[in-house]
Structure 1
Amino acid sequence: MDDAAARAASEAAVEAYPRIVAALIRITGDWTLAEDSAQEALAMALGRWPSEGVPDNPGGWLMTVARNRALDVLRRATVERRKLRELAVLALTAATDEPQEEVVDDRLRLIFTCCHPALALEARVALTLRTICAVPTGDIARAFLVGESTMTRRLTRAKTKISEAGIPYRVPTGAALGERLPGVLAVLYLLFTQGYNADGEPAFAEEAIRLARLLTGLMPEQPEAAALLALFLLQHSRRTVRRDREGRLVPLDRQDRTRWDHLAIHEATDILSRLRHQGPYTLQARIAACHATAPSLDETDWPLIAACYDDLVRLRPSPVIELNRAVAHGYAFGPEAGLALLAGLRSGGALADYPLLVAAEADLTARAGDRERAAVLFRQAAESTHSESERLALLARADEL
């Protein structure tokens, strides 16, 4: 396959796939049909573009092919062919011609549909990641620490429940809007993480920021929505310096802070200055702000970060938050304090073999002066991570020691 065509198909998939799926679900009400039609359009692009050339509007080309495929299926499935065809063409044409902001809002409606309280929270998050963002099922399964087959069954059950319960495709109003918010925020948080992690797709992080802006505009009275946007902006401000020219990960303490996106940092800190709420996302944003505004790693306000994690672990206890709290205590009060907290996590078993726990232990062990033991731990973490970028970075730390 021609490299340019393959690259264009990949870029179009990231940008257009969620828009196509959201539009087709809204019109047809059939999740499987929407996803199958979008995937067939992508397959057709990979087959044709190398020889015929990439169209001027790849996303529009994919939308047209997916729309026609959906119409073909609908025509075969009904006796009222002419009436259904006219209705579907009108609706799908209108969806294609909508301004970009309306298209994004269509995806927001789909997120709220996925986040209906009739579904378990994990199912809401997983279904939206799969449907809106085309995140591979295996990646979603790893995020939830379950097997891929288990996640596949959960996704299937969630789609079936939406269909059988007649869950409407719309952004709710009134009390229902507040009830859905935690699930929607969790979706956007995992979407951003999927784009920001070591081997993630950056477009996912950018999409999460766009949707967070929409959500903040939709619900200006909700401080956690604004805090989530601030958190995204602070984390994303480092995107251009997280890798060197060879594509290797650059640790926080070695990043050129002058190249961070200081406009994004200013926007985020301005948002935080207006928040008096101390919810989970607000606390995480304040932690990120401590990092973003510090001159260096050693000059970071680690006692404040440790205090935020103390509050956060009370509000939303989880093994990963406990891990981050241990690291913060290690930097704020000495590596031995952090290592003691990590020992408790190891004995608890939930994160016993988690690569980032082993890497955190390695880092604090090095700070405590045992470089040989730290090198062994960094190599152990490298062996167990799924990320090639993380593996190389961890091995580099081991070699340095």
Structure 2
Amino acid sequence: MIGEFENPASLLEKARRGEGLLPGEVLSLWSQATPADWAAVFECARVLNEQKFEKKIRFFAPLYFSSYCVNDCLYCGFRRSNRLAKRRALTCEEFLREAKFLWQEGHRSLLLIAGEHPVYAGVDRIAGYLQVLQKADLAFSVTVEVGPLDFTGYRTLKALGVDRCLLFQETYHRPSYVLVHDGPKKNFDWRLEAMERAVLAGLGKVGLGILLGLHSFREDLAGLVGHAWTFKKKFGFFPATFSFPRLQPAYGVSVPWAAQETVSDEDFEKIIAVSRLAMPSVGIVLTTRETPAMRKRLIELGIGVTHLSAGSSTQPGGYTVEPEERGGQFDLRDHRPLREVEREVSSQGYESVFHGG
């Protein structure tokens, strides 16, 4: 899809009007922008971000509840062939312990996340966990990120009180996608259409994302923007959030292939800024995959980040059950507790939001 605007000045003017950018326009801007143009891109992103989201950062914590997975993704610590991974699916008692810990830390928004598995990450399992939260009067805003579900599965999550669902396509380049995925996840289209099923089932807030490093990040960013425009055309609104995790090492996983294109810190900043121009109303998530210095810098720049994870663990039971055990989905780079990150954000002039968003 090629846009009618071809030069950076025209694209910037379109973005300033809040009209967003089409996939072809994203690629055109990236290929033509001079250093002076990039300075203007960052300033436009800063203005749009403050107009749409004010100076607020929404915090959340991931709660991994199972590391069992039927897939064999080359880059993931949960891949089924990883013999060093210690598999665990939290009992309801263990789940409650983890949730109480996060509540006491100050979190009010949870991301329930697990490897893809029909039993250990199925809807019935999630329902049990949500009932535990309700009985304990832990009124979290709950987001769920599991493997693709059918319409009925998403409708059940909606009925259980789930606020939103996330699912990342990882890469929109089909050959690269097929190369690195094995198992049910290899079905590109079933995954691609999952968040549409969620919306049709009544979950109005969904999140999309790409795993930077599997393919050309420019092409994948354009693919993500195109996916978001599909939502706008079909449903009248854009997805709630974008996520751009960069490929990180994982325990027990030796990746035998080189990433298609390494994403530098400079390019990562540009990805955030261009995303804000392309999708002025879509929140942008930044996780603890990034270093404290990078997270601080992106907040200071103010070019797009709206959601932060903090005090995170990527392994089931990682907060209270087995906090010293290795075996998370991927390595983390920011280990600071929530309150420390919150203080830093506050010192940068931002208001912290803990519930919903």
Q: Which has the higher contact order (CA 8 A, sep 6+)?
A: 2
TM-score of the superposed pair, with normalisation by structure 2: 0.29
**Higher share of residues assigned strand:** 2
Which protein has the larger Cα radius of gyration, Structure 1 or Structure 2? 1
TM-score of the superposed pair, with normalisation by structure 1: 0.27
**Higher share of residues assigned helix:** 1
